Amino acid sequence: MHHPGPPRFVSAGETVQLAPRDPDPDGRYAWRVADAPPTSESTVGAEAVTEFTPDVPGWYRLGLEAPDGDHLLTVLAFDAAYAGVDVAGGSGEAIRDRDADRAGIGYASGRPADDGGPPRVRLDAEIEDGGIVVRAVATPNPSSSLAADDLAVRFVIDDRDVAEAVAAGRTNPRDAVTVTETGTEAETTATLRLPTGSVPDRLRVHAVAVARDPGEDARVSVADAVSIDRVDAGRADPFAGSEAPGDPTVGESFAVTRPNRPPAWTADATVYEVYVRTFTDAETGTLAAIADRIPEVAELGVDTLWLTPVLENDGEPHGYNVTDFFSIADDLGDREDYERLVETAHDHGMRVLFDLVLNHTARDHPWFRDAYRNPDSPYRDRYEWQASGEPGTYFDWELIANLNHANLAVRQYLLDVVDEWAPLVDGFRCDMAWAVPDSLWREIRDRAKAGDPEFLLMDETIPYVPRFHEGMFDVHFDATLYFTLRQIGRGHEPADAVIDAVERRAAVGFPDHAGFLQYVENHDETRYRVECGDDAAAAAIAATFTLPGVPMVYAGQEIGQRGRRDAIAWEHAREEVRERHARLSAAHDAHPALGPAGDLERVDYRVAGGGSEERPIAAEGDAVHPDDVVAFRREHGSEALVVVLNFAPGEALVDVDADHGRLDVVTGDPCVETDSGGEERIRVDDVAVVPVG
């Protein structure tokens, strides 16, 4: 089906890309503005992949004439900028379209708007009294001064499902709905109701929350969605009880899902990144050698394996310059070796993430070799080109060429790549996600999850972008937390900045259900302990396991490796470092309060020496300054824990304002001392986690 996908929520003046799905490179596609606000003069281009910029707020219907028929797409535009991130428009388009010099992207992630940032919305659905009830709960931004009754909700029923219902002879769902709103001091709830008879095989409902100060532009949330799927369209037995014969609603059954929620298994996942060519102690790293080491990796307690690219490439060891998207690199093995590695990982309870590279090819790719300096090449239009005749690229990457994602042959080729590898693995780590159009990621997400609803889409987008959680990605690289941990380790920020970093996620507009990858290093970064020392590294790693998110271990981190991409010195493993990682992983798995769903709360605490006075600032030695330490509370269900992190070389004694226990759940040992005045102190080297209550 060539329908362009879900409705789009944008700002007036914001440009979005439109594209047919599953395109036929030889097919004819034509866009039109089918309906628009009376004062709008917006138009669409003549190409199959085009752009649309709504010029005034309001509802737009865009038509797409395609080989499989005519389709309509709703675009709802607001008199607002997507405030809350330090890029214009708040989307990947702004990152892709930075200055012509392609300046590097820093780690300064989204920042809250001066007026408090966008609100958030969460959708749920259930069946009540023979009808579908969708509830949207809208909450103000945590840093906003707006009250809940300053919020409104805008629902949109997916155009694809409207067309299906009408084609099946059902009542148009949009004509059958009723919407009501209620509010409390904390939230606004909008309720959409419609009879089940209007529901086709699938009904997807999307919504945004809108916050507005009097006289000001709106602030609009990341959209959420809910899907109601018809499981059994049975009819009543005319001889059964008092039910009216043939009542079409009797016997119907529906399943409700929230498609923007990360896979359930990420709630206690721990990711392990493998830089494939230097991971093993073989002379040349191979997939078979990696598979042989999986049992040892599994003992660490990690359960998700991210392998850097394994496809044919130009010989650069990182593998991101791909020359053949359908073949395993010869130096690593063959497809059977890859499938055997995945099977071995699965046998040891580990999922596998495929590193998906869709922004570019290597210059050694056959397409590029034919197209370079050849204007008559059939592949010429499959790449971006600069006025100089050189291909488009980012930064100083001279060995790659950016693909032209507006070319239908390119899009279909990349979708074939997705179809090739998705059935073999459990998720994609999406390289340079910011450099690939949103429209393509939305299609890839739907395509991958159609085969496996628990398939993971994880984006490498630096800085992170809240709207990338809008029907594109489940889990996002948290470079903000990464950079904050580095700053703490360097002594440039106090330890409690980790709480600010986590709270920034909501402040810039991410919904509560968004997932975040928490790491201290990866194949692109200097090892943390090299830059900040062993003591700070121990606390920083503990932070990734105790703050709300998905912790990641970069291979070698767990044995004290100091080289970023060097061959891992397994024979020189520091066992105390490995044991520390294993204990943290076990505690993370055993205590849901430490996972992504656990609440994070600030607590009052005081760092003390042997007496009641705080220790003075010290540049060296074992003295601990209060800025070296942070304490916070994690809670989920009936479980509550206090976590204390100490980035200093010396042992800290910390008085926490909470009724806590005496055992550290990470080590299983007592960690509380009572001083001469009867005050209880938590003794912490790098981390201590104690139960509350």
Q: Are 319 and 308 spatial neighbours (Cβ–Cβ below 8 Å)? A: yes
Structure tokens that stand for 572 in this block: 């020189």
- 118 CB contacts (<8 Å, ≥6 apart)? 82, 83, 84, 141, 209, 211, 219, 220, 221, 222, 466, 509
Kindly tell me the sign of the dihedral angle through the C-alpha atoms of 643, 648, 653, 655.
negative
DSSP 508-575: TT--TT-EEEE-S--TTS--HHHHH-HHHHHHHHHHHHHSSSEEEEETTGGGT---SSSPP-GGG--H
b/e 542-561 (16+ beta carbons within 10 angstroms → b) = bbbbbbbbbbbbbbbbbbbb
Q: Which of 187, 426, 431, 470 is catalytic?
A: 431
Angle of CA points 10, 83, 457, to nearest 5°: 65
Amino acid at site 382:
R
Residue 431 annotated to the active site: yes
SS (H, E, C) 631-672: EEEEEECCEEEEEEEECCCCCEEEEECCCECCECCCCCCECE
Structure tokens that stand for 490 in this block: 């360097």
Q: What is the DSSP letter of 308?
A: P
- 413 CB contacts (<8 Å, ≥6 apart)? 325
State residue 103 phi and psi, 5-degree precision.
Answer: -55, 145
b/e 632-658 (16+ beta carbons within 10 angstroms → b) = bbbbbeeebbbbbbbbbbbebbbbbeb
- At 298 the three-state DSSP class reads helix
Structure tokens that stand for 640 in this block: 């509550």
Structure tokens that stand for 57 in this block: 């707020």
Q: SS3 breakdown of the chain: % helix, strand, coil, rounded to 5?
A: 25, 30, 45
Question: How, if at all, do strands 120-128 and 131-139 pair?
Answer: antiparallel
Q: Which residues are catalytic?
A: 431, 460
